Structures are given as C-alpha cells and as structure tokens.
Structure 1
Amino acid sequence: MTPFLAEITDKIIKENPDFSNTIWVFPSKRAGVFAANYLKKNNSKTIFAPEFLSIEAFITRLAVIEPASTETSLCLLYESYLETGIKDKESFSSFIGWGTTILQDFNEIDRYGVTAKKLYTHIQNLQEVSHWALEEDKTEMVKAYLKFWEILPELYERFTKKMLAQGIGHQGLLYKKAKENIAQFLIDLPATTFYFIGFNALNTSESDIIQYILSEKRGSIFWDLDQYFLENPLHEAGYFMRKHLKNWPYFQESKPEGVSNRYTSTEKKVNIYGVPKSVSQAQLIGEILNEFSQEQVLNTAIVLGDEELLNPVIHAIPNGLKANITMGAPLSGVPMATLVAHLFDLHTNNYSNGWHIKQVQDVLTHPYIKLLVEVNQYNAVNTFIYDCQKQNISSLSTDYINAAFNTSHTIISLLFKDKANVPAAFVSRFQELLWVLNDFSEKNKQPQISSEVRYFIEIFDGLSAQLTAFPFIDNLSGLKKIYLETLSKKRLSFSGDALEGLQLMGMLESRNLDFETVIIAHVNEGILPGGKSTNSYIPLSLKKIFGLPSFKEKDAVYAYHFYRLLQRAKNVYLLYNTATDVLEGGEPSRFVHQLKTQGIAKVQVNDQLAMPILDAVTPPLIEIKKDQSVIDQLLQKAKSGFSPSALNTYIRNPIDFYKRYVLKLKDPEILEELIAYNTFGTIVHDSLQALYTPAIGQVLTENHFKEFNQQLPHILTHFFEKHHSPTKSLKGKNLIAFSVLLQYLKDFLEYDQECAKKEAICIESLEKEYQMTLQIPGVSESVLFKGSLDRVDKRNGVTHIIDFKTGAVKPTDLKLKDWDGLNNSPERAKVLQLLSYALLYSQNHGNTPVKTGIYSFKNTQDGYMFFEDTLKPSNKNIVAEDTCNAFKEVLVGILQELFNIETPFVEKEV
C-alpha cells in the first residue's frame, strides 16, 4: 500500500526536483509532518526543503492579522453590542448565550464571502412578514425581537472594525482578509510555487484563493478521492469534488490530479461490530489489537468518532504496545477542572446563613484539597464531614469551619475567608491556590498535579487579563461562561512518535493519512455523520440561497473523511454503540448500511454483534435471610400498599426490593446536567395530565386538540423547568431534549386526534390511583395493592386503560403466552403491570371488562399497543373477569412468597 502523501511527494519530486521556492499547503499540520518524512525517504540528495504549511497557517500569513481567541472575540462582540442603538441591553452573562451563535454566524459569513448587510436584511424582512398580523398592535417583546434582527448589520460592521483596529480577527475575518490580499501576496513572492495537497471541502474564500493561484499558473492542486465516489452522483463522499469540477473554470482545461481507483481495486475486509457502550467498544479494540502481529500494529490507526472514548481506549491498549495519541484529552475531564467547578458553585450560591454543606463537602473532599488540608491533620476532612452529618448541619459559618481545622491553615483561610463573588477576587484567590498546589506538587513529586496546574495557571492568567481589558465582566456568572469557553478549547497533549507505530486519533486528525489497518469506533448515526443539529440563527432556506453550509454539507464532509480512510486500507474494523439512551437510539451510521449494500466484489463485509467479555471471577450472589423485623417492615408496607412496579422490582431482583422497601434506601440526589430517563418520563406524564385534565368527562373533539396544541409549549416549559432546568438558558443536549419532548407530545396529540376521528373517545380519569385489599394465606393482616393509572377512557362503550412509556416497548412484550413465569420472569414485567391495572380497575367497577395497553414515545409507529391474551380463542385484547381472577392468583402467590419468612431475598444476575 502506497500512501497518498507518498504518491504525491514522489510525483512532485519527479516534476520539480528543485522545490526550494515552493510552499506545500495541507488541510492539517500533521499531514505536512508525514509529507516531510516521505520527502526525506524518497530523496537521496541534500536539498533545501520546501515550506510545509497547514491551511490555517497559510491563511494567517495571507491575512496579515493575528488569530483572536473565542473569548476575546466574544468580549469585543459584546463591546460592539453595547455601542448599538438597541434599548435595554442584556448583561454580559446573558449575552454570551446567544452571542456565541452570532459569532459563529459572522465567522461563516466571512469565510463564505457573504455580504452581511444583504443577508441580515433578508432575515429581517422574513421576520417582519412572519409578524405582519401584529403590525397594528405589536407587543414590546415582538418589537424587541424585530429590533434584534435590525441591529445585526450594524453589529457586524462595528465588530469587524474593532477587531481590525487591534490587528486581530476571528477565523472568518482571517479568511476574508486573506482573499483580499492574495494578489499582492503573489506579487511579493514572484518565484514561489504553491502545491495544495489533499483538500476536499473548501469554503468560498479558500476556493477563490486556490483558483486565483491556479489561474496565475503559480501552483497545482492534488486531490485524494476515488473514482467510485466521484462518478456516483448520489454518493456523499464525492459531493464536493463534483461541485468543484462543475464550478471551477480551471477544470475546463485541466483534469483533477490525484483521483484514483484504490477503493474498488484494493482487496479489503470490513468487519462491523455492534457493541454496547463505550467501555465495551474500548475492550473490543484491545482484543482486536491482541490478535495483530507487531508488523500489522505498526501500520494501524484507531480513529475515534467520539472523544469520550479516548480514556477507555488508552487503558484498553495491550501492555507493551506504544501508541501515538494525537487528538488530545479534553482538559475539562481532569480533576483540576472539577475543583474549579466546585469553587464556582461555592461562591456563586448565596446563603444568608453561611456556606452550604453540599458545596463545602464537594470542595473539601476533592482529592487535591484533601491532600493539602490533611498534610498535618490526618483524616481531618472525613471527621469534619461526619460531624456535620451527625448534627444534621445544612449551613456552616466561616468561624465553624475554622474551628474544625487549624485556624492558621492557609488552604482553609484561602477557601472560606469570605465569599469571592467578585470576578477579580475569585480569579486572584484561585491563582493563589494554584501556586500553593504547584509548590506542594513539586515538593512531593506529584507530576500529574504539576502538569494540570501549569495549564490552569495559563487559563487564569488569561482570565485576569480579560477582566482588566473588559470591565463589564462584573459577576461570576459571566466569568464562569468565559472560563468554560476557554476550557473547552484546551487539550492535554500526549507524547509519542508522530510517524511510527500505532496511531490513535480523531477523524479530523486522519486527514490525508493512510493505514493498512483502520479501526473506527462509535460509527453511529448522529456521530458519523453528526446529524442535523446546527448552531446558527440563519434560516436553512437563506443558507442555501447565499451558499452557506448546512447539515447536508457537513454530512458530506463526514462521508469524505470516513470513506477516504477506507480507500487504501486492507483491514477495516467498524464499531458502533448498540445501547440506547434518552436522545440516541443505538443505530449504526448510514455509512455502515451503505457498505453492506454497495456490492463491490473486492470489499468483503462481515457484520456481527459483540458482547463484552466478563471477568471469569464474579462475586457470589447476595442472600439475605428474613427475620421477624423484616416481616414487620413488610407489614408496614402492606398498609401503605404495594404497587405493580414494587412487585416487578422484587421479581427482577429481590435484593433491590430489600434495599428500597425494607431498608428504605433512597437513590442519592444527583444534579442532572443532562436529563435522566425518569425525569424525561415525569415531564411527559405531568404535561399530558395538565393538557387533558380540562377534558375529563368529555368526548374529545377538534376544538380540544386545537386547545391542547396551543397550550403545549407553555405547559411543557413549566414542567421542564419544574423537574429539570430553566428553558431560557438551554443548550447542547438539554436543548435537544426539550425539542424531543415537544416533538414527542406533538406527535402523540396528532395520533390521538386521528384516533378520536375514527371513534368517540371520552376521558374518564387521568393519573388516578386505584386500590384493593388482598388476603394472603399465612399473612396476619390484609395487604393493600394499589396502582396509578395514567389514563382511562371509553371508546364505543369499552373501557381503555393507557400507560405512557418514554422507553421502547414492543407489541410482543404485551402478549400473555402462558401463566408460568409471570411470577418470576422480568421479561414479563409489562404484562404483569397491565394485568395489575385491569384487576384494580375491574375490582372498583364491578368486574368491568377492559382493554389495557401502552403508548410508547420511543416507537410511535405502533401507536396504542394493547395486552393480548394468546390463550383465548377470541377477544384476545379484552381482559375479562376470568383473566382477572387467574391473575389475582398469581399476584397472591408473589405476595405469599414475599411474606414467607423461610424464603430469603436472593440476588439475581441483572
């Protein structure tokens, strides 16, 4: 296998042996390092090397201004915003939320050569049209909204002038200036030849710059693309090259150089593995590497679709294998970043009675703080926390904390002297803490702490400079946002050989590089490619008109990088995550499906599911014997009532039941940064109850659904804020979660409306609890059985009980095939739950036959799915008295076993 860069280097040497006056430009700096190495290997003479530049470095040289950091750009953007004519200007901390998106839009406007005033005038006109009905009676909110669009051209002009006055620019501005300067640049370097190597997607500025150089006969361009992708008009990997061939005048006279047919002519084996979760993918990568010879490892690349896989994969690499890690670990994942987050929480939360115990505990138990505090006071932190918990103290005074520790202790004084709620004080105090940690780590030879401290000293020195330059950063909220913006750009670098051995990288780092064996992890839809999410205020329709990239172009970029890695590879391993969560469905990437259906003879595709290998030694299953105190606890529970979910917990794992209902252990309260499954479900249930409550006792009509749809956004916002977080500051996955919830509920209302058109639906009750008492043989007291029914309605005289689920449910989960196993099989949980609801309702309504079913928001295509009794010859969906009586016997049997003092709680393998 001859790598692309080796081919092009050899080609340039043959065509132009003297390349001392040449500049080679690559998509990345790393590609230039590899090209330099190939040049060294292919050339036996002593020569002056060409200059190797990444496209970013080349553009910076052309622009003659320096790149500005994102945080500096945001501050200058806010300064510009303050100078506009808009009234009631927002604070800096509020501005950052939408200012970041505006900055990204300005960046794209400049990179793609769009006239900002023209674009924003179009957007303003669109907004005016969409609010035309309010022309006579515009609210202040609508006026402010329209004014926002009106000031954007002015904001763009002020911001651009401000940056240029300081000799700096965001990335887009650098591209804009580079394009303006290209003619003079060529005049200044009359003897220089330029080679552009391995490009694919080009923004308008890049395209114009390269085309100008080519038109002046001052350079060449070499592409890295296979004929297979180029000639297929529907293949995403060839999207940009086909566009260049169509639009560039250069290609009317010249053929594209570098196009090959390696993809279809190289024998390759593609192994596709579906694996649950990141750790299992990492484990499988380690197993794959263990099977390789040393020679194969030396020409292998591991490419991670998601940076969260980095640490698991590093730890899964077999001992003895050296890897060069190029992508860098996020600095946000190191312990020092956690400490900063704790300190922000400590000083941001205002408590009139002192410091809150939760924040104090988080700070003191941080490993680095604990090391400093306990230098002379062994176990002081644990003792202090224990004493606070014992006394049930919720807030602490500074005097109380000082009394618990050595009052002269530098760290305690530094942390809790007073509230550092002024940005300058917070930064100054943390800088002081960093130097204390630095001295400690050097004295005690703690290289990890020393390494982290150096990064954070640099960050906080930068924050200190920002505070001096921009006095409007006047609260910790704004400071924290600037800090997080800075932190998100920082990476921990790893040492290694960039040219030899196993290479571990992200998809972008793989540009222009070729390997015989490629392992790509997290090849999931929504990751490769990245999906339709976009951070922009510019409507998609106008993006298309003005030539700005949308998700289509971004997907084509992912496609190119993915398939380019496969072009020359002989052995390919693709791993995707099969596990699902609230927002992701565990679906393999479309690229995986394309590979399985493309039908190329020399590309052998093998698809399989892989399960993680468990350790051979597993701990023994827990067994807890019952005594009278346990029975007494169960009798207490019998008075308050057992629910179907409690019994399903017992069936799934009796030890879980014992912990929750006997020991009464609660799950720890966790601050949800990302919405959890149970919270997701709670919001759905509460929203539906609020929407449908006014319709109880009524037959659903078109007017009902019209009102439901009008109320939905307000009701959802209320419950999202009640159970999770404020909606005004939503971003990232939480913003997606809110949008998913909104779409879920819209889809349900649309479906329910269609059902209401086909048959009259009368709402009987919502979230109503039903109860019944059971007499259990061997139990001295009656047992209460209860359940909350999400919705009961009547359709054509038949009572329907509906349970709403936000998780995935299949119709087969609701089939009763036999009565055996219902009392001990977790897979039958849904059947037990639905029969419980039917029994509870019928016992309270004179043994009324019912239909009971589930609506799953995860697989809406199945609509209402109803319980099915396959043992009956007809009316399989109706739960009548005979079925309820049979189920009641099963229920009594479960409770009889639960109260049997001779039957221990035995752990099940879950």
Structure 2
Amino acid sequence: MTTFIEEVITNLQEKGLDLSELKFILPSKRAGTFLKHQLSRSTKQTMFAPEILSIEDFVESISGLKTVSNTELLFQFYNTYITLNTTENPDSFEVFSKWAQILLQDFNEIDRYLIPQQKIFEYLAAIQETNHWSVAEDKTDFIINYLAFWNKLHEYYTHFTTHLLTNNLGYQGLVYRQANVNVKTYVEQHKVQHVFLGFNALNTAEESIIQYILEETDALIYWDIDKTFYENPIHDAGLFTRQHAKNWKYFNTHPFNWITENYTKEKSINIIGVPKNVGQAKYIGGILKDLKKQNSTLENTAVVLGNEDLLLPVLNSIPDTVNALNVTMGFPLKSIPLASLFESLFHLHKNKPQSFYYKDVISILSHQFVRPLFVLEGDDFATNLIERIQTNNIVFISYKHLVDLCEPFKDVLSLLFDSWGNNATKALKQSRDYIYVLKEHLSINKDEHILSLEYTYRFHELFNELDRLNTTYNFFQSISALHQVYKELLSSETLDFQGEPLQGLQIMGMLESRVLDFETVIISSVNEGVLPAGKSNNSFIPLDVKLENGLPTFKEKDAVYTYHFYRLLQRAKNVYIIYNTEVDALKGGEKSRFLTQLELEKIHKPKYIMAAPVVNLVEQKLKTVPKTSLVVDRLKEIAKYGFSPSSLTNYVRNPIDFYYQKVLKIQEYDEVEETVAANTLGTVVHNTLEDFYKPLIKKQLTEAHLTEMKSKISSTVLHHFKLTYNDGDISTGKNLISFEIAKRYVSNFINSELKEVKAGRIIKIIAIEADFERVKINIPELDFPVTIGGKVDRVDEYDGTTRIIDYKTGKVEQSQVEIIDWDELTTDYKKYSKPFQILCYAYMMLSDGKLKFPLEAGIISFKNLNGGFLKFTKKVKTGPKATKITAIDKETIQLFEEQLKVLVLDIFNTENDFEEKDVSH
C-alpha cells in the first residue's frame, strides 16, 4: 500500500524540489509527525527537516495573535459584559457562563467564515423583534431586557475583540480573521514555497488565505479524494473538494491534484453488530488477537474510535501479546478516579449544608484516595467511622460530629468536610491543601504510586489554574460558579500517554486519522448520533440565517464525517466496522447511514456479522451444606443454650438461613435506617408496653392505670425511639409518620383495654416479657441436652382464664392462628409459623410449671385490633364439620411436643443436609 503522504513526497521529488526548503501545512500535528517520518525514509541523503505546521499553527503565525483558551476567553468576555451592561442586576458569572459559551462559539463561526459582523448582528436583533414582541404596545421589563440583549450583540463583539486585539490575543475565529488581513504582508516577508496537503473542509478564512498564497506564490496543494466520491454529485465525501475545484480561480489554470482511484480496489470489509460499548471493546480485543497471529508488529493497523469514551475499555481489552502501541488521544482527566472525589466534594458543599447526608459522607470516606489517609498503626479509622454512622443511624451528620467521632484525624476531616461557606477561595485552598497532603502520603511509597502521583500532579495544575483565574478576575461568587468552570477545565484536560508514535498498533479518534493511511482499519461506534454526529443547534444563529450567510449547518458537519469515514476505507485492505446493536437515544441510535450507503453503492460486498457474548447457561442450584462433626458440635452448643421459637421457625422456613445465622453466626449487614424499619417500629411498641405494664405485674388493671398510661404515651414512645433508633432523626418525613404510627398503635391498644375494663372485664397481669431459658425437651433418641428458651410478651388472666399473648405490629388474621393438620406444623412455614411460635410459648411456660391447664394462647395484632385477641385454635373433624377448640390442654401440648421432637431430630439428623429452600414464591 502506498500512502497519500508517500505519493505527495514522490511527486515533489519528481518535480526536483528541495524538500528541506519547503514549508508543509497539514490539517493536524499528528499528520506532521507521519510526514516527517516518511521524509526520513524517502531520502537517501542527509537533509535538514523542512518546516512542518498544522493549519492552526500556520494561521496563528500569520495573525501575530496568541490563541487563548476557552476558559480564559469566558473571563475576558465577562469583563466586557460587566463594562457594557447598564441593568441594575447583571447576570452573575455562573448565569453568564451558560449563555456566553454559546455566544462565543457564534463569534468564532462568524469570524472563521469572514461574515460582516455588524450586518449579521443587526439581522439577528431584527429577527427577534419581528418574531416576538415588536407589536406589543406595553413592553414589560423582561421584553425590554430581552430585546436589549440582541441589540447589544454587536457592541459586545466590538468591545471584546478590540480588547483582545489590543493585547495580541484571540480566539480561533479572530485569529483566522486577522490572519486573512495579514496574509499579504506575510507573503511579502516569507519567500519559502508552501505545500498544502490533505485538506477537505475549509472555512472561508482558510480558503481565502490558501487561495491567496497559491495565486501569489509558487505554492502547491494536494487533495486526497477518490474518483468514486468526486464524480458522484450527491456523495457527501466529495462535497467540499467538488466545491473547491469549481469555485477556486486557481484551478482554472492549474491541475487539481489529486483524484485517485483507490476506493474501488478489492477490500475485505466486515460489518459487525455488537451489543453495548463494552461489547465493542471486547470484540476489538478479539480482532487484535487474531491479527497479532498474522502480523507480529501490527504495523499499518489502526483502531479508530468513533466514540472516544471507548478508550479505556479498549485499552483494557488489548491482548497481552500486543507489546507496541501508540495512543494518539490523551486519557480524559475526568475519567481519572481523583475526579470522582472532587465531584463528590463539590456535590457535598455546593448548597452550603449545615450537615451532610450520610451516603455522601460514606462515599467520600470510602474513596480510594481518602481511605489510606485514615490508617493509623494498622487500624482503619475510616471503616470504624463508617460503622459508627451506620450503627447509630446517623442520616445527617455535621463536620463537628465527624470530628467528635474521629478526633485523631481532625486535620484530614477539616480539609474534606469543614464548610466551604459558599466561598470559592476557601474551597480552592482546601482542595489544594488536600492534594498536597495526598501527595505527601503517596510519596512515602513512591514506586508503588507512580500513576497516582501523576494524577495528583495534574489536579494540582488544574486547581492552580482555577486559583489563578479566581485571583485575577474574582468572578467566582459561589461554589456553583467555581464548579462550572472546574468542569469546563476538567473536560478539556487529558493525561497524555507516552509511547513510540510510529511503531505498532495505533489507537486514535476520527479527526486524528486525517491524512493517515492504514492497511487494516478497525472503526468502532459507527452509529447514528456518533458517526455522523447528527443534528445539533448549539447556537443563537437560526438555520435560515446560517444558510443565508454561508455558515456551516448540520449538512456540512455530516459531510466532514462522511469524508473521514470513506477516506479511511480508500487505501485500506482489511476493514472492520463495528456498531452498537443496542439503540441508545442519548449516545447513538441505530447503525449509521454510512453502512447502508456501503450496501447501496454495490462497489464492495461487505460481510455482515452479528456478534453476541457467549452466555453459558448456569443452572441455579439450591445450596446444600453437610452436617459435619464440627457443625453437629455447634448445634449441640445451641441446643444446650436453648433454641428460640424464632430460630426454629427460621429452620422450617429455610434451613440454609438457620445455618448461616445460628451455626455460622452471620448477621445481616447493619445499614443505616434512613426511615424507621418495621422491626424498629415493633421494638419501640413492645418496649413502650413493657414500661407501662411491668409495674402492674400481679395487679388487676384499673381505669386509673390505663388513664395514666395514656398521658405518658408520647414521652415514652419518644424515649424508646431514641434508644432503638439511636441518633436517627424522627422529626420530619417518613420517620415522623412512623413515630406517630407507634403512638397510635399504643394508644389504640390501651383504649381497647380501657373499653374492656369499663365493660367489667377483670384483667390481671401475670407476667410481662417473661424470659424462659433452657426449658428441657425430653428426646430419648439424643444423648445430650436440648433446651428451648425465649421471651413471652405478656401473660394475663382474663375473667379467670389464663392467656399467653404475643404482640404483632403487622396484620394477623384469625385464620393464621388455626391448625388442623399437625404433620404440617413443622413443614409449612407460611401456614403454621404463628401457631408454632404460640405453642412454643405455651410449652415453655407449662413445662416450667409457671402455668397450669387449661389456658389460651394467641396474638394481638396492632393492625387488626378490631379482631381482638386472636386465639390459637385447634380444629378437630367431627363429622362433616370441624370443631374449633381454643383451650390449650394436655393433648394439644402432647401433639405439639411430638412435632417439636420431629423438628429437633431433623436438625440433628446427619443424613439430612442443610438444604436451601426456594422461598422466592
């Protein structure tokens, strides 16, 4: 394959020109590097390298101006705005920057295309007045200010550009306009022969400058366009070159070099549909692995990223066998882990909070560039601090509270959490100080943290620039304004890769491929909205005005992408075009129109491949844990201490959960309760009733007792919320509702008791939260003690009948405490878990000798208080109907004991493993 650059050099040599005396102008610096390399390979004798410039550098040298960064321009322009604005309340810098960036882009376009400034600004103002409010008799202040803005655009432009020119500064468009003014002087002073090569779309200023140099000197220009595109009047890849060939006077007397015929040569084109961006990256890795086997160096191979966000996934997907590559695009600073830390800090401090949301605090404390700073003598204080926040249910936490919890690290906490006070100067100081502290920590083990130190240095530079802008202009009146400029700087900064630019695999963006040719090309993200980018109108200038004045529209921008895409295919022999099969309305939709165009041209026969990840069917197997001797020993310990009714029902529900919680002692992760959990609400209600009723043990309930309880409901519930919910806030939102619900539950229950007492019922309290431990279960088959223990919420006498009561804050119906089939008692959790627990309590109290037959046991449901005391009921079939027996007698306890023994024996049966049950249904 002969590249375009080789063809140009050969032609120049055939003309007998001294290459070292020429001045080459190319579309990009990257192309200049390849030109210099090709010059060294194409000459047989030593020579001085010629001057090689990108078009931007060349135009800047003609203009005599220095190009200013977009961020600096924004600050300079705000000076203009403040100077010329006559309203009482001009926009703050934060508000100004949102519309000013669009206006600066329009200034740039107007200058690059040499549009008469006054004419277009007056035209825009007239359009606004005509379209909107010129006919309104009484214009409001809003309308007056709106029209004043449009009428002032030319004044803004004039003042701003005059200021820049006075200081020999300029944005790209102004540089181009000034270069167009100075080109005659430049040509008179520079007698060197110019060679322009590889251009396609040119703005009016570039066209004017290049044409003047071509007409007034012996300069040469080389185009790279294929006959297929040039001669097809509707093919966008040749749109600009056809216009140049037709409109430039120079080509009336000079040949149009060159129109080549490379595209129609035989090519292998594979079009691959791959789901998702990461899928594309992985597929590229697979292609490179195969290519590496054929070409060990991967010379003349390029990966061109349509979507440059794919850089990191692609780098991670490159096979280990690829040992030489060059990344021409920098790694975005916004993708570096340190960027996420400062984004979190801006989010934390932006609204000047008095206290911080715990998730924001935990996110910062858990960050990889924060956590190491909280290690002292091997102890991880960050983890300890996070656990204390979670344990104490601290939903909102202040800086002072953080320091109280972690005093040894007050200095670091100060840099992270001490309020910025909506003061940009303080925010910058704390951020820069934190970077310095981080740098000092990383420098201790410098060799291990080389990359992290590089990250830190780049952010040190970024915050220094922000500090310079703040000191010079003092426009940051809020953290939001600082954050906006921070994001602007961050988005434009990159971390450059080091590598050999001319060896091995090349990874680049679409624009960096200009002028370059490769035998094997892999192009990613060839989707609508990416290649081409599609319609976007980030401009104050309407489409019709752009068309009228010759400004580029989306059609011209699409034509630029079309040219670059087809140019990559011109000389290539092997082409892999990859697109995302998953439609994303925000970042690219269906496959690109370029792919459909390739089919319709019928010049090549692309091979379509639909790629998908190989997903092995993994059968979801329920877990099984054998009962080893160690497990049995642990079960014996539990049996000796005492099985609780809840642990036994947990075994019935799912043996594997019983194994995790009781055998392995694995508890659920203790997260912060932002809103009061159901178990917390239940605990508060239980503890409140315990406080009320415990002093009344062995006493008969009276109206006075219950009336006194009612007066203490609010304070007692609040007391137990504070104990149970720790530092959690119950003053607002859902937590306040939960607090009120708890009070309502207690109040309703006491009212129901009061109603019973007033009706003449005699209620005597026997026990409250009665704690029974190690009630022995007689199981002859086992040669070790097995006990059962637990707490009973309440035992009382109701008109002489003993009742065992279990409180439930959830809703329970009478049908849920009835039993008919005793064999299902230890197997059907959903149906019989509540009767099992009730009978456990009865069994414990009767075995302990505290109570005697007969008695009743049941549930009081706070969500179903109208149901009253829901008694355990035994259904006995006597003919066609079942008889309901609520009294718990000796027979009932015997039936229960039999089932309890069956359950315990199953727990200790080593032939029956702990088998997970599918509880999803």
Residue 613 (structure 1) shift: 3.4
Deviations 1:531-560 (A, max 9, x none): 001311100000011111111110000000
Cα separation, partners in 2 of 1:139 and 1:418, compared to 1, 3 Å: closer
Query: Conserved in 2, the CA contact under 8 Å of 1:201 and 1:557?
Result: yes
Residue 416 (structure 1) shift: 3.0
Q: Larger Cα Rg: Structure 1 or Structure 2?
A: 2
CA distance in 2, matches of 1:621, 1:226: 61
Match of 1:29 in 2: 29
Cα separation, partners in 2 of 1:48 and 1:341, compared to 1, 3 Å: same
CA distance in 1, matches of 2:325, 2:364: 35
Query: Conserved in 2, the CA contact under 8 Å of 1:283 and 1:313?
Result: yes
Cα separation, partners in 2 of 1:450 and 1:164, compared to 1, 3 Å: same
Cα separation, partners in 2 of 1:907 and 1:465, compared to 1, 3 Å: same
Residue 545 of structure 2 aligns with an amino acid whose one-letter code is: L
CA distance in 2, matches of 1:66, 1:43: 35
Match of 2:128 in 1: 127
Residue 334 of structure 1 aligns with an amino acid whose one-letter code is: I
Cα separation, partners in 2 of 1:483 and 1:558, compared to 1, 3 Å: same
Query: Conserved in 1, the CA contact under 8 Å of 2:267 and 2:572?
Result: yes
Q: Is it true that 1:82 corresponds to 2:82 in the alignment?
A: yes
CA distance in 2, matches of 1:619, 1:509: 47
Residue 430 (structure 1) shift: 1.2
Match of residue 564, structure 1, among 567, 570, 587: 567
CA distance in 1, matches of 2:650, 2:388: 30
Residue 483 of structure 2 aligns with an amino acid whose one-letter code is: K
Match of 1:282 in 2: 281
Match of 1:52 in 2: 52
SS of the residue aligned with 1:39?
A: helix
Q: Is it true that 1:575 corresponds to 2:578 in the alignment?
A: yes
CA distance in 1, matches of 2:278, 2:168: 46
Deviations 1:112-153 (A, max 9, x none): 111222111111111111125742133332222222211111
Cα separation, partners in 2 of 1:291 and 1:188, compared to 1, 3 Å: same
CA distance in 2, matches of 1:71, 1:583: 26
Residue 344 of structure 1 aligns with an amino acid whose one-letter code is: F
Query: Conserved in 1, the CA contact under 8 Å of 2:395 and 2:672?
Result: no
Cα separation, partners in 2 of 1:780 and 1:362, compared to 1, 3 Å: closer
Match of 1:344 in 2: 346
Structure 1: state its 5+ residue gaps.
634-662, 670-777, 783-901
CA distance in 1, matches of 2:420, 2:108: 38
CA distance in 2, matches of 1:372, 1:242: 63
Query: Conserved in 1, the CA contact under 8 Å of 2:351 and 2:422?
Result: no
Query: Conserved in 2, the CA contact under 8 Å of 1:273 and 1:575?
Result: yes
SS of the residue aligned with 1:198?
A: strand
CA distance in 2, matches of 1:208, 1:624: 80
CA distance in 1, matches of 2:619, 2:392: 36
Cα separation, partners in 2 of 1:397 and 1:58, compared to 1, 3 Å: same
Alignment of 1:237-252 (within 5 A): 237-252=237-252
Residue 427 of structure 1 aligns with an amino acid whose one-letter code is: L
CA distance in 2, matches of 1:781, 1:378: 45
Residue 388 of structure 2 aligns with an amino acid whose one-letter code is: D
Residue 224 (structure 1) shift: 0.8
**Identity between Structure 1 and Structure 2 (%):** 40
Match of 2:439 in 1: 438
Residue 348 of structure 1 aligns with an amino acid whose one-letter code is: K
Residue 557 of structure 2 aligns with an amino acid whose one-letter code is: K
Match of 2:6 in 1: 6
Query: Conserved in 1, the CA contact under 8 Å of 2:303 and 2:523?
Result: yes
Match of residue 327, structure 2, among 325, 328, 334: 325
CA distance in 2, matches of 1:487, 1:84: 30
Give 4+ residue runs of structure 1 displaced > 6 Å after superposition.
623-633, 663-669, 778-782
Match of 2:705 in 1: none
Alignment of 1:264-663 (within 5 A): 264=264, 266-292=265-291, 293-295=294-296, 297-321=298-322, 322-352=324-354, 354-376=355-377, 378-407=379-408, 409-445=410-446, 446-583=449-586, 586-600=589-603, 603-614=604-615, 620-621=620-621
Residue 526 (structure 1) shift: 0.7
Query: Conserved in 1, the CA contact under 8 Å of 2:238 and 2:563?
Result: yes
Matched residue count: 648
Query: Conserved in 1, the CA contact under 8 Å of 2:622 and 2:916?
Result: no
Match of 2:150 in 1: 149
Residue 55 of structure 1 aligns with an amino acid whose one-letter code is: I
Residue 583 (structure 1) shift: 3.6
Query: Conserved in 2, the CA contact under 8 Å of 1:111 and 1:175?
Result: yes
Cα separation, partners in 2 of 1:137 and 1:378, compared to 1, 3 Å: same
Query: Conserved in 1, the CA contact under 8 Å of 2:420 and 2:426?
Result: no
Residue 240 (structure 1) shift: 0.4
Alignment of 1:766-785 (within 5 A): none
CA distance in 1, matches of 2:564, 2:588: 23
Match of 1:204 in 2: 204
CA distance in 2, matches of 1:420, 1:621: 55
Residue 578 (structure 1) shift: 0.6
Cα separation, partners in 2 of 1:118 and 1:781, compared to 1, 3 Å: same
Query: Conserved in 2, the CA contact under 8 Å of 1:623 and 1:907?
Result: no
Cα separation, partners in 2 of 1:349 and 1:374, compared to 1, 3 Å: farther
CA distance in 2, matches of 1:391, 1:619: 41
Cα separation, partners in 2 of 1:780 and 1:33, compared to 1, 3 Å: closer
Deviations 1:412-443 (A, max 9, x none): 23223443531111111211111222222222
Residue 360 of structure 1 aligns with an amino acid whose one-letter code is: V
CA distance in 2, matches of 1:489, 1:781: 60
Residue 98 (structure 1) shift: 0.8
CA distance in 1, matches of 2:178, 2:475: 30
CA distance in 2, matches of 1:37, 1:582: 42
Cα separation, partners in 2 of 1:382 and 1:584, compared to 1, 3 Å: same
Cα separation, partners in 2 of 1:630 and 1:566, compared to 1, 3 Å: farther
CA distance in 2, matches of 1:343, 1:151: 39
Residue 337 of structure 2 aligns with an amino acid whose one-letter code is: P
SS of the residue aligned with 2:605?
A: strand
Match of 2:779 in 1: none
Residue 415 of structure 2 aligns with an amino acid whose one-letter code is: L
Query: Conserved in 2, the CA contact under 8 Å of 1:579 and 1:585?
Result: no
Cα separation, partners in 2 of 1:596 and 1:349, compared to 1, 3 Å: same
Moved more, 406-415 or 85-94: 406-415
Residue 668 (structure 1) shift: 13
Residue 479 (structure 1) shift: 1.0
Cα separation, partners in 2 of 1:138 and 1:617, compared to 1, 3 Å: same
Cα separation, partners in 2 of 1:324 and 1:627, compared to 1, 3 Å: farther
SS of the residue aligned with 1:368?
A: coil
User: RMSD across aligned C-alpha pairs, in angstroms?
Assistant: 3.0
Cα separation, partners in 2 of 1:162 and 1:465, compared to 1, 3 Å: same
Residue 362 (structure 1) shift: 2.2
Residue 381 (structure 1) shift: 1.2
Cα separation, partners in 2 of 1:242 and 1:436, compared to 1, 3 Å: same
Residue 268 of structure 1 aligns with an amino acid whose one-letter code is: K
Residue 24 of structure 1 aligns with an amino acid whose one-letter code is: F
Residue 667 (structure 1) shift: 15
Match of 1:809 in 2: none
Residue 67 of structure 2 aligns with an amino acid whose one-letter code is: P
Structure 2: state its 5+ residue gaps.
626-646, 655-667, 675-823, 832-914
CA distance in 1, matches of 2:586, 2:651: 40
Match of 1:63 in 2: 63
